[in-house]
Every structure is written in structure tokens, then in C-alpha cells.
Amino acid sequence: MAAPVLAAVDELVEPVVDRTSAHAFAAEHIAPYGNEFERAGRIPEQLLERMSEAGLWAPFLPPEIGGSGLSMVTLGELHEEVGRACSSVRSLLTVHTMLSWAVQRWGTGEQKARWLPELAAGRTLGAFCLTEPDAGSDATGIRTTAEPTGDGFLLNGGKKWITNGQRADLYLVFARLGSSIAAFLVPRNSPGVGVTPIRDIMGTRGSMLAELRFSDVLVGPEALLGPSGFTAGMVLTGTLDLGRYSVASGSVGIIQACLDACASYTTQRTVGGAPLRDLQLIQAKVSDMVTDVRAARLLVTEAGRLKDAGESATIMATWIAKYFASTAAAKHASEAVQIHGANGMGGDYPVGRYYRDAKVMEIIEGSNEIQRITIAAEAYREMTTT
Amino acid sequence: MSNNVTSQILAFISGRYPQVEISSSDNIFQIGFVNSLFAMELVMFIEKTFGVTVPNDELRIENFHSAQSMTELVDRLTPATAGV
């Protein structure tokens, strides 16, 4: 199916620097096309370019390399507003953010100079490549290998469910290196990289998922990102932490979108001569959406505040925010479909898409079952033996 | 300076694992509770608390064995104070 065509714009795209400008951008360029993106199974280049013009790809990077120097709290607000319009577009931001942050945090001076301006401008789009056909939440089970050679490393293996794998220009690939796991920056056009689109997927259908194959892919020593040895796991931990933060923010956006849709629908739709909103069971559902979206947003904001402060407590705060927000998103997206009745199942309203997309949030960047184990372990860890 | 750094590091570890008693020279990896999550928290704590940036080439396991080795790392990364 051909990619949707966005309406022409007469003026330059306004820069996105805060929640208000992000909302305006998403309301004009993303939300009206969300269902079309889902049907087409892709995001049009036209929108990717407008996101570049708006400076939306990596605005947390410093201005001197093309970013806007935005705080993590503001970044979360941007991802919420984009996620409110379309989770597939937000997912592209998530994986691009993960790669960009990893280069900024762990890259050498050479790696930063080569990639960060490209990533900030959106001329190079990134993807995060960890999951494999037989290893998801269990990252230690990955089988992709990196074998040191005289000229760098030889990569062999496969990755699956890679968001934006079809379109991204640069992959952050995790592979076994000796007894550890290491991260590599691999351009998509490297010889030996195979890309197979995944189109049959329940949610975030526009996120251009792919299965990747690495067959004797030779990369230079400059491809290795971050420390080797025991601390290599920190690259993975830190990158996933930021991905979780973005997913949590996007989940808040889904809840808000459900609330928006339901408030509108129940005001217009009548039953027995009165609007649906007059029914107390409808009010109960809407009130729960209001409460949960505020609670989830507060948790995300707190995680972002801790990131901005450099506090290590942000990691657990982000786990909790992602668990709460994604669970609430799935619950309220289901209720939003219920409120819309048969209309919720069809393609004329967005809530069916929210429902499909919300389910994904409970699975990616650490399944919610893993998150509950981690959160509970934290509680037990802090217990004293007395 | 160093004693203060060591005590702050020990306080951080104790705060995360109240049930474990460690001294400044104990190898926290041999105790067995360090994983990549805690390693990341440790690095963030050191950078935030002592105002340093740990470069990639200092992210070696021997620098994080114990509160003492982490103290030595902080000392290396802290610019010498001008003056007397």
C-alpha cells in the first residue's frame, strides 16, 4: 500500500521546543493521518522530513551540534505529545533517541563528531537492535557474535522486531564479544546486512519493523561503542532506560488520546435521546482515565527530573513509570473501544488503533512481567534484616 | 577528601543493600550483588556526587572492585586544587 500523502503546508514548519509546539506539530502533521499510517504500514518520508525541519529527532542534544539542549522532562513531554497522535511515529523517535543518547554518552570524540550532527538533523535515522528470534527480555541469551579481526570486528547473527529497521540508516547492534556483550554502530548499507520487513504485526504497524541478518559484516574498530568488558552492560542498561522513558511518555500520550476521543464521542453520541456522557458508568470510565493520565504523567515527569539531576534513582523511577503508564494505557484503550461500541472496532475512529498500539507498550523495552520482578526486587533489596 | 569520598561511597552501597555489611576494601563483585543495573547506578552516583565524568577508559572492573578503588578513581578524576 502506498504511503499516505500529507497535506501541503504553505509556511515553514515551526521548531518543536516544548509541549505546546510539540502538540501543535502533532495535531497538524501526525494525528490526522494516524489511521492511514497504520493501514499503509509505514510513515511517509514527507513526515520524516518535516520532523527534521522541526528539530524533533534528538532535541536533547546540545545546540552546538544541532540539538536544542532540551531537558529530559521536556523530551518526555515531546514524546507524549507525539505518542498522543501516533504511537508508530513515537516509536521511531524512541529508537532514534536511544541510539543518539548512547553515542552522546558513550561515544569517542570521533564517533560523536561523525554521527551526532547527522542524528540531530535527522539526516541519519537510528534503530536499536537487541532482540533476536530466541532472545527478548533475556538479553543475555543473544547469539549474534562479534569476532575480533585484525581490521575490526566480524558480525554474524540476526535481530528481530527492530523498530524502523526498514528505514533507519544506522543500527545500534548488541552482540557477544568474548564473554561480554558489546554495542556496535553499523550502517544499514554495510555489505552483509540483510533487511526483511515485518508487516504482519498487531500494533504500531507503521513503525517499519524489520528482521535483520548480519552475514560476515565487517566493521572497523570505530564501530565499537562504549567500554568493553564488564561495564559494556551499562551501555545496554542506560540505553534501555532511555527507551523505557520514551515508551512511558508515549503511553501517557495514549491515555490522553483515549480521554480526548472518549470525551468527544460521548458528548456527541446519544442514547435514548441523551448524550452518552450522562451515563454514570461512562463517567466512571472517563474519571479513571483522567486520574490515571495525571498519575502516569507525574511518574514520568519525576523520572525525567531525576535524569536531569543525574540521580541514579532515575533508573528505578523509569521502570515504575513505564510499568504504570503502559498498564494504564492498555486498560484505558480497551475501555475507549468499549465506550465507542462497534465504532471503536472500525477504522473511522482512532481508538481501535490506540488499543492495538497500547498492547505493544506492555511488551517492549522490558515486558511488564520483568518490570514487576525488578520493582519487587527493589523493595526486597531495600529491606533491612532487622 | 579521600576518607570522605570512601564514606559516601560506602553509604551509597549500604543504602542500596542495607542487609550487606562491607568495608572499604571488600570486593563488591565477590559478594555477588553487582549487576549491570547497579553498575550503572554506581557510575551515576560517582559522577553526580563528586562532580566528575568517568571516561570510557576508566570504566574498568578494577576501578569498581571496592569503595577504596572507587575512591582512588575519584581522586584521579578530580582536578587538583590550586593554592597551598
CATH number for region B2-77 = 1.10.1200.10
Is 80 exceeded by the pLDDT of residue B34? no
Contact A258, A333 (CB under 8 A): yes
Q: Rounded to an integer, what distance in angstroms lies between the CA atom of residue B29 and that of residue A254?
A: 42
Q: Residue A220: what residue type? A: G
Quote the pTM value: 0.94
- Section A226-240 average pLDDT: 80
Q: Tell me what percent of the residues of chain A surpass a pLDDT of 70.
A: 97
Contact A228, A259 (CB under 8 A): no
Q: Rounded to an integer, what distance in angstroms lies between the CA atom of residue A244 and that of residue A323?
A: 9
Q: How many residues does chain B have?
A: 84
A222 to chain B: which residues are within 8 Å by CB?
A: none
Report residue A248's pLDDT band, with 50, 70 and 90 as the boundaries: very high
The residue of chain A with its CA nearest to that of B45 is A312
- Section A308-335 average pLDDT: 96
Is 60 exceeded by the pLDDT of residue B82? no
HSE-up of A137 (CA within 13 Å, CB side)? 12
B47/A315 Cβ within 8 A: no
A383/B40 Cβ within 8 A: no
Question: Please, what CATH class does the domain formed by A232-381 belong to?
Answer: mainly alpha
Is 80 exceeded by the pLDDT of residue A316? yes
Is 60 exceeded by the pLDDT of residue B28? yes
- Section A59-85 average pLDDT: 97
**Angstroms from A361 CA to nearest CA on chain B:** 22
Q: Where are the domains of chain B?
A: 2-77
Query: Which regions of chain A does DSSP assign to beta strands (E)?
Result: 126-129, 145-149, 152-162, 170-177, 180-187, 193-197, 210-219, 224-225, 270-271, 274-275
Ranges for all domains in chain A classified under CATH 2.40.110.10? 127-229
DSSP β-bridge partners for residue A149: A152
Q: What's A7's DSSP letter?
A: P
* Best CA proximity match to A375, nearest among B29, B33, B37: B37
First-to-last C-alpha distance (Å) of chain B: 15
Task: Please name the residues between 310 and 329 in chain A that touch chain B, using a CB distance below 8 Å.
Answer: 310-312, 314-315
pLDDT at position B81, please? 58
pLDDT for A286-299, tens place per residue? 999 999 999 999 99
H/E run at residue A50: helix A45-54
Q: Tell me what percent of the residues of chain A surpass a pLDDT of 90.
A: 85
pLDDT for A27-62, tens place per residue? 999 999 999 999 999 999 999 999 999 999 999 999
- Section A239-250 average pLDDT: 97
pLDDT at position A17, please? 96
Ranges for all domains in chain A classified under CATH 1.10.540.10? 19-125
* Best CA proximity match to A186, nearest among A239, A147, A223: A223
**Angstroms from A43 CA to nearest CA on chain B:** 34
pLDDT at position A6, please? 85
Average pLDDT of chain A? 94
* Best CA proximity match to A157, nearest among A197, A220, A213: A213
Chain A touched by B44 (CB under 8 Å): yes
pLDDT for A332-347, tens place per residue? 999 999 999 999 999 9
Q: Rounded to an integer, what distance in angstroms lies between the CA atom of residue A188 and that of residue B68?
A: 44
Q: What's B81's DSSP letter?
A: P
Report residue A77's pLDDT band, with 50, 70 and 90 as the boundaries: very high
A229/B47 Cβ within 8 A: no
pLDDT at position A135, please? 84
Of B17, B39, B48, the CB nearest to A234: B39
Q: Rounded to an integer, what distance in angstroms lies between the CA atom of residue A73 and that of residue A323?
A: 18
Measure Cα distances from A123 to A164, A226, A275, A349 in Å.
Answer: 14, 23, 49, 33
Q: Rounded to an integer, what distance in angstroms lies between the CA atom of residue A207 and that of residue A201?
A: 10
Ranges for all domains in chain A classified under CATH 1.20.140.10? 232-381
pLDDT for A93-133, tens place per residue? 999 999 999 999 999 999 999 999 999 999 999 999 999 99
A241/B40 Cβ within 8 A: yes
pLDDT at position B84, please? 41
**Angstroms from B73 CA to nearest CA on chain A:** 15
Is 70 exceeded by the pLDDT of residue B24? yes
Q: Going by C-beta distance under 8 Å and a sequence separation of 6 or more, which residues neighbour residue A275?
A: A266, A267, A268, A269
pLDDT for A129-144, tens place per residue? 999 998 877 777 899 9
pLDDT at position B83, please? 46
Active site residues of A: 365
B59 to chain A: which residues are within 8 Å by CB?
A: 227, 229, 231, 234
Is 80 exceeded by the pLDDT of residue A10? no
Chain B touched by A238 (CB under 8 Å): yes
- Section A302-329 average pLDDT: 96
pLDDT at position A366, please? 85
CATH (one of 2.60.40.1930, 3.40.50.970, 3.90.650.10, 1.10.540.10) for A19-125? 1.10.540.10
CATH (one of 1.10.3720.10, 3.90.1150.10, 2.40.110.10, 3.30.465.10) for A127-229? 2.40.110.10
B44/A108 Cβ within 8 A: no
Q: Rounded to an integer, what distance in angstroms lies between the CA atom of residue A278 and that of residue A280?
A: 6
Is 60 exceeded by the pLDDT of residue B1? no
Q: Going by C-beta distance under 8 Å and a sequence separation of 6 or more, which residues neighbour residue A26?
A: A81, A82, A84, A85, A86
Whether ipTM > 0.85 holds is no
pLDDT at position B35, please? 75
* Best CA proximity match to B10, nearest among B74, B82, B80, B83: B74
**Angstroms from B19 CA to nearest CA on chain A:** 5
Task: Please name the residues between 90 and 119 in chain A that touch chain B, using a CB distance below 8 Å.
Answer: 106, 108
Q: How many residues does chain A have?
A: 386
Chain B touched by A268 (CB under 8 Å): no
